[in-house]
Each structure stands twice: as structure tokens, then as C-alpha cells.
Chains A and B, each alone.
Chain A
Amino acid sequence: MLLKKKKREGARNIKGFLIWAVPLSIAFMLFGFLFTIQYNTQQSINTTLTDQTTNDLITLVQTLTEQRTKLEQELETLEEINTNLDLTTILQNEIEQLQIHGGSTEVTGEGVVITLTGDSPFVSYDLIDIINELFGSGAEAISINDTRITFTTSILDVTDSTNTKMITINGQRLLTPVVIKAIGDAETLETGLTFSGGIIDNLTTLYNITPTIQQKEEIIIPAVKSITDFQYMKIITE
């Protein structure tokens, strides 16, 4: 009887135990399941931007904008340097070339100095011949009495109202002694002038004009006094 009683009590115990334990276990298990899923989801969300707090996002944006402006400034300076490098070198070269060609700057270098004294009976053609010869011998810049010879320079024989003959260069009277300076390889220039049957030889033998020629280490040739403005000439763009 005692045993039976115990058994019955045990059965009641188990029944009572099951009554509360099973639902509670199910509830707990489901809770654990849901909680874990939610935890995982939240962890994955926390690493994305959408669930960041507003303050975090603001600081993030601020730092990013700062970085961006910094980088933009850097880029700007670098680009400036880059373009400056390119443009300045190209333009400088161009300007130098143009100045050399147009004669708008003072230039210096080795060359020859030809002096014609006042008592020699030379005319404008003689000067032109000398200049042509010099250019032909590779002269890079020539001046007559500090007037730069360019592609617009005119050398003329003029007889004025008082019937005196004179040579003008760019419309201005050429005074003696006439000093012709030419920059180039001094040796070549001199031989270009003085070879037998050359221009100086001719002048000496035919007209008794004896120019003196000096080779010089350093000759300074001035710039043109007025730069011509072109009115009619236009560049043909292809």
C-alpha cells in the first residue's frame, strides 16, 4: 500500500511537473530562438550605416567632408603645378623663339663687329649686301648703329631737299661711322665676308672701301625700338 501510494504520488508529481515544465520549456526555447535570430540580425545591422545613431553619422559626415575638401585642395594645387609646368615651359620657349625672331629683346653672344668709317663711299646696297652675307653665313642677329635688323627693316638711299645724299635706316639718317654687329659663329662670319671674291674683297678692290672686322667674345645687340603692329595680316587657321 505504501509503495502504491508512493507510486501514485510520483505519478501525480510527474504529471504536475509536465504541466508546468513543458509549456515553460517551449516558451523558453522559442524565446531563445527568437532572441538569437534578433541578436544576429542586430549585429549585422549595427555594422551597416542605416542603424548608426544620428550623432555618429554627423561626425562621420563631417570627418569625411573635411577629408574630401583636403583632398580636393591637394588635387587643385597639384593640377595647378602640373599645368604651370606644362604651360610655362611651353610658353617660355615660344616667347623666347618669338623674341629672338622678332628682335624684341636684347641679345648677346659671340660674333663680329664691322666698322665702316665716314670717308668710305659706300651706299645702301653695300650695307644690304653685307647684311645678306652675314645672314647667309649664319648670323642670328644683326644691328647697324644699334638699330636691330628685322624683317621689316628698310635701308634706303635718300636725297633730301638740300640735295645731300644719305642713307636711312628705318627712315632715320644713318650716321658714320657705321658699326655693324652680328651674332653668330665669329670665324664663319668673318670668312663669309672676307673670302677672296667675297663682299669685302669686292668693296676693297672696286670701291676702295676698307671695313674693319673684329671678332668679339661678347656682342650686345639691342632690341627693336618699336614693335610693328600688324593690321592687315591675319593667321590662316586650317
Chain B
Amino acid sequence: MRYLFIPIISLILGVLAGSALTFTIPVAYAKYLSIAVLAALDTLFGGIRAMVSDEFDGSILLAGFFSNTILAAALAFLGDQIGVDLYLAAVIALGIRLFTNAGIIRRTFIQNMKNRNEEKKALRKQKRIITVKTKEIVNNIENVEIITFEEK
């Protein structure tokens, strides 16, 4: 999780590449690209969620990325061909998934933080117990020779 800056840097790189090209899609295809972008965003959220809940798989992420973008665009295109606003279906499905994933990420984060805090607390408790016990032991056994072994 410490290396999250790397994807962010690559995101910035992608944005820079996109703006450097100064290239616009024909108006007729802009709708499909918008759906593709939405699908890509959804895949990214899915990837982050998988990372957060330790189920991350790079190949699945990349496969999902490409298939989702292409499928979404193709669905929108197909919808246009038969006069049904199928892209709405993609928007709704992807939007719902996006929010669900965001929710899961948020909950997992909070849960992780809580767990860590509890672990720390437990650790501190154990430490305290250990110190107390060692003190007791030290107090109790006054006349005990401490034999040390050398490691071989």
C-alpha cells in the first residue's frame, strides 16, 4: 500500500499523453468512448477493491479492463443500431458497481484501521503482561543462576 504513488504517477502520465496528442474522437463515436471510460473507471475501482481485500490479480485486472471497455462501447453501439438506449444499461450497471466497490473499499479501509488499532492495543496489553510477569519472575527467583548457552 505504500507504493500507491506509482499508479497515480502512471495516471498522470496517461493524462499527459492524452493531452499531448490533442486528438478528438468524431462526435458520432464520443458516446461509445464515454461508456468505455466509465467501464475503465469501474475496472480501476474493482482493482483497488481487490487490493484492499487482498484478492488482487493483475491479469484479471488487465483482462477486465480491456473486456469491460470494449464490451461497454460495443453494447452502446449495438443499442444505437437497434434503437434501444443500451448504453443506459451499461451506465447504470457500471455506476452501481462503482458505488458498491467504493463502499467496499471504504469499509475495508476502516475495518483495517480498526483491526490495526486493536492489534496495537492487544500488543501493548501483552507487553504490559509480559513486563509484569517478568518482574514477578525476577522478584520470585532471586537466587537463581542464569545459565547461558552459546549458539552453535
- Same complex for A and B? Answer yes
A residues apposed to B, CB below 8 Å:
17, 19-42, 44-45, 48, 50-51
Residue contact B13 to A20, C-beta cutoff 8 Å: no
How far is it, in angstroms, between the C-alpha of A78 and the C-alpha of B69 when the chains are bound? Answer: 61
Residue contact B7 to A21, C-beta cutoff 8 Å: yes
Determine whether B41 belongs to the interface, using a CB cutoff of 8 Å to chain A.
yes
Residue contact A25 to B7, C-beta cutoff 8 Å: yes
The tally of residues in B whose CB lies under 8 Å from a CB in A reads: 38
Check A37/B33 contact, CB under 8 A, given A20-B58, A23-B58, A32-B15: yes
Determine whether B147 belongs to the interface, using a CB cutoff of 8 Å to chain A.
no
* Residue of chain A at shortest CB distance from B60: A23
* Residue of chain B at shortest CB distance from A26: B62
- Residues on A with beta carbons closer than 8 Å to the beta carbon of B59: 23
- Residues on A with beta carbons closer than 8 Å to the beta carbon of B58: 19-20, 22-24
Dominant secondary structure at the A interface = helix
Determine whether B27 belongs to the interface, using a CB cutoff of 8 Å to chain A.
yes
Determine whether B67 belongs to the interface, using a CB cutoff of 8 Å to chain A.
no
Residue contact A37 to B7, C-beta cutoff 8 Å: no
Determine whether B141 belongs to the interface, using a CB cutoff of 8 Å to chain A.
no
- Residues on A with beta carbons closer than 8 Å to the beta carbon of B47: 23-24, 27
Residue contact A41 to B24, C-beta cutoff 8 Å: yes
- Residues on B with beta carbons closer than 8 Å to the beta carbon of A28: 7-8, 10-11, 14, 44
**Residues 1-56 of B contacting A (Cβ, < 8 Å):** 3, 6-15, 17-19, 21-25, 27, 30, 33-34, 36-37, 40-41, 43-44, 47, 51, 56
